[in-house]
Amino acid sequence: MDVTSTGSADLVIVANRLPVDRFEQPDGTPGWRRSPGGLVSALEPVLRASDGAWIGWPGGTEEDLEPFEADGMDLVPVHLSADEVEEFYEGFSNATLWPLYHDVVAKPEFHREWWESYVRVNQRFAEKAAAVAAKDATVWVHDYQLQLVPQMLRDLRPDLRIGFYLHIPFPPTELFQQLPWRRQVLEGLLGADLIGFQLAGGAQNFIRLVRQRVGHKTHRDLVYLPDGRTVRAAAFPISIDAADFEKLARSEGVEQRAKEIREALGNPKKVFLGIDRLDYTKGIYARLRAYSELLADGHFDVEDAVFVQVATPSRERVEQYRILRDEIDRLVGRINGDLGKIGSPAISYMHSSFPREEMAALYRAADIMVVTPFRDGMNLVAKEYIACRFDGQGALVLSEFAGAANELRQAWLINPYDINGMKAALLDAYNASPRELARRMKAMRKTVVEHDVKAWADSFLEELSSVRRDHGKTVRPVSQG
Ligand code: GDG
């Protein structure tokens, strides 16, 4: 595609962020490198195969960038002002929708100026997409920051085939109703032909809300709009590039690094590991407390085991995130102060992010991966751990409230609100025999390898093309379903 012209892309991805990060080249000029993440690796081949483009915010607020090419992808930046970052991104997206959609684990804040900014920015994304897409093109909009884009885009370009995918949970109707702009959000989403959710429960919540609040006829997973259009809402559980992770984990460099990590930790019998964005939905505090109680109760010693917790910095300007960081800092300090010994801390805590190679080495070095969110759309860390354990060893302790629990049934499933239950599962995983570990890991690996991110993207795009093809052919039900 010639990125200076518009209107020629057959496939347009619209996401809050562009799939690249800016960095400074050795000569001081800015360059772009592909940001790590499954979504980029899944969509890159599809984008290359078609005449594709990716629309998103490049990060930063300084300049309004022209479309550019990076890593073989055509990228179309959407500019955000400093006020918009505060109101649309940190405000409405991350302090209203994020907590509301995650079981109100934190209290959502509702501010009318934030909503206005959300509408404005969504409109800007929709206009960019309308300008870039070729006639009858497919546009795939991603995530909670852009829920109004489907209808705004349909108003501008009725010829387009529009898909929407929500990466986070879609809340139960009782919680969603709190949102003062609930109807606008539902109507925004209904601009899509296909709406994908992580789990069937999210799709059902959505269909029920549409029936109750917007009054459209629905039947099973279909919504019948008054203009004759149908919208399908269904589950498409996301995954990772499992083969790529396994390849990385098998590499000599990663194997060597995994050994070094264990040595640096004092070669304990067992290494526990948590890797999360530092987010209140991830249940980091509860998990560390449960672990510290196992130590305090004498089930094992700091010389036998260590808990490595990586908390990747996230949304640091949002108040709830600053509070959480302080709470975790204090808890880790207290646990290490109470239970650690010289050279053997109870918890090895890092508030930083690492390259993918280091992540793979950590996964290989860890005996027990601990994933305990209070609510999580999917949780890719759990799947990445499984992909890296080609040796058939390693245990996964996983919250029932992560989407991944739906597929990874052989994990030690826990309720993160139940500290005693969590302690029992951690201990059970600690004591599991290699045979038991191998049995569970084998089954989970089969799931992760077969349902990788490519299968996810293909199935969504295939379904999107068939929903649109069938448009108008479906028989409308007589009564409400
Ligand atoms: C949202 C939903 C859903 C983390 N630290 C580092 C790093 N990571 C990578 C992990 C993983 C990704 O970030 C985190 O993905 P999760 O799925 O665990 O969580 P969210 O960020 O909350 O993602 C979630 C997901 O969207 C996809 O739909 O599963 O439920 O909340 O890939 O590896 N990567 C590197 N360094 C780090 O320090 N390189």
Which residue has better confidence, 198 or 6?
Answer: 198
% of the chain at pLDDT higher than 90: 84
Domain count, the chain: 2
Distance 158 CA to ligand 1 centre (A): 34
Q: Is the CB of 168 under 6 A from ligand 1?
A: yes
Categorize the per-residue pLDDT at 51 as very low, low, confident or very high, splitting at 50, 70 and 90: confident
Decide if 268 is inside a domain.
Answer: yes
Residues 74 and 138 in one domain: yes
The pLDDT of 42-62, averaged and rounded, is 86
Quick: pLDDT tens for 322-342: 999 999 999 999 999 999 999
Categorize the per-residue pLDDT at 478 as very low, low, confident or very high, splitting at 50, 70 and 90: very low
Is the per-residue pLDDT at 130 higher than 70? Answer: yes
pLDDT at residue 43, as a whole number: 83
Residues 233 and 372 in one domain: no
pLDDT at residue 479, as a whole number: 42
Categorize the per-residue pLDDT at 357 as very low, low, confident or very high, splitting at 50, 70 and 90: very high
Q: Is the CB of 381 under 6 A from ligand 1?
A: yes
Distance 146 CA to ligand 1 centre (A): 19
Q: Tokens at residue 21, please? A: 């990060």
C-alpha to C-alpha distances, 270 to 303, 306, 368, 371, 410, nearest whole angstrom: 9, 7, 8, 16, 20
pLDDT at residue 469, as a whole number: 60
List the one residue out of 46, 52, 11, 2 whose CA is nearest residue 160. 11
Mutate to test the pocket of ligand 1, among 17, 277, 350 (most ligand atoms within 8 A of CB): 277
Tally DSSP H helices, then E strands, for the chain. 17, 18
Residues 382 and 403 in one domain: yes
Which residue has better confidence, 49 or 155?
Answer: 155
Mutate to test the pocket of ligand 1, among 380, 396, 460 (most ligand atoms within 8 A of CB): 380
The pLDDT of 157-175, averaged and rounded, is 97
* 123-126-132-137 Cα dihedral, nearest 10 degrees: -160
Is the per-residue pLDDT at 481 higher than 50? Answer: no
C-alpha to C-alpha distances, 347 to 75, 290, 353, 457, nearest whole angstrom: 42, 12, 17, 38
Quick: pLDDT tens for 400-459: 999 999 999 999 999 999 999 999 999 999 999 999 999 999 999 999 999 999 999 999
Residues 326 and 190 in one domain: no
Decide if 172 is inside a domain.
Answer: yes
Categorize the per-residue pLDDT at 35 as very low, low, confident or very high, splitting at 50, 70 and 90: confident
User: What number of CA atoms fall less than 13 Å from residue 153's CA on the CB side?
Assistant: 35
Q: In the block, which residue shows the tokens 């700091």? A: 302
Residues 403 and 463 in one domain: no
Is the per-residue pLDDT at 475 higher than 60? Answer: no
What is the DSSP code string of 107-175? PPP--HHHHHHHHHHHHHHHHHHHHHEEEEEEEEEESGGGTTHHHHHHHH-TTSEEEEE--SPPPPHHH
Query: Rounded to two decimals, what is the model's pTM?
Result: 0.95
Is the per-residue pLDDT at 264 higher than 50? Answer: yes
Which ligand 1 atom is at minimum distance from the Cα of 355?
A: 39
Residues 139 and 224 in one domain: yes
List the one residue out of 31, 243, 8 whose CA is nearest residue 134. 8
* 411-412-417-419 Cα dihedral, nearest 10 degrees: -150
Quick: pLDDT tens for 210-256: 999 999 999 999 999 999 999 999 999 999 999 999 999 999 999 99
Distance 471 CA to ligand 1 centre (A): 35
Q: Which of 3-17, 179-193, 441-455 has the lowest mean pLDDT?
A: 3-17
Q: Is the CB of 379 under 6 A from ligand 1?
A: yes
Q: In the block, which residue shows the tokens 């052989």? A: 410
Distance 380 CA to ligand 1 centre (A): 6
pLDDT at residue 24, as a whole number: 84
Quick: pLDDT tens for 99-128: 999 999 999 999 999 999 999 999 999 999
Which residue has better confidence, 470 or 258?
Answer: 258
CATH classification of the domain holding 127 = 3.40.50.2000
Which helix (H) or strand (E) segment is 369 a member of? strand 368-371
Distance 288 CA to ligand 1 centre (A): 20
Whose CA is closest to atom 36 on ligand 1? 354
pLDDT at residue 254, as a whole number: 98
pLDDT at residue 73, as a whole number: 84
Distance 58 CA to ligand 1 centre (A): 19
pLDDT at residue 470, as a whole number: 56
Residues 162 and 276 in one domain: no
Decide if 105 is inside a domain.
Answer: yes
Categorize the per-residue pLDDT at 471 as very low, low, confident or very high, splitting at 50, 70 and 90: low
Residue 13 identity: I
pLDDT at residue 468, as a whole number: 63
Decide if 174 is inside a domain.
Answer: yes
Whose CA is closest to atom 33 on ligand 1? 381
The pLDDT of 42-64, averaged and rounded, is 86
Residues 304 and 438 in one domain: yes
Residues 134 and 59 in one domain: yes
Q: Is the CB of 380 under 6 A from ligand 1?
A: yes
Decide if 1 is inside a domain.
Answer: no
Residues 223 and 250 in one domain: no
Q: Decide: 80 and 92 in contact? Cβ < 8 Å.
A: no
Distance 382 CA to ligand 1 centre (A): 10
Residues 118 and 230 in one domain: yes
The pLDDT of 367-392, averaged and rounded, is 97
Distance 36 CA to ligand 1 centre (A): 10
Residues 319 and 394 in one domain: yes
Categorize the per-residue pLDDT at 343 as very low, low, confident or very high, splitting at 50, 70 and 90: very high
pLDDT at residue 6, as a whole number: 56
Q: In the block, which residue shows the tokens 């751990």? A: 385
Is the per-residue pLDDT at 5 higher than 90? Answer: no
Average pLDDT score, the chain:
93
CA angle, corner 270, sides to 267 and 271, nearest 5?
85
Which residue segment(s) compose the domain that 172 sits in? 9-238+455-467
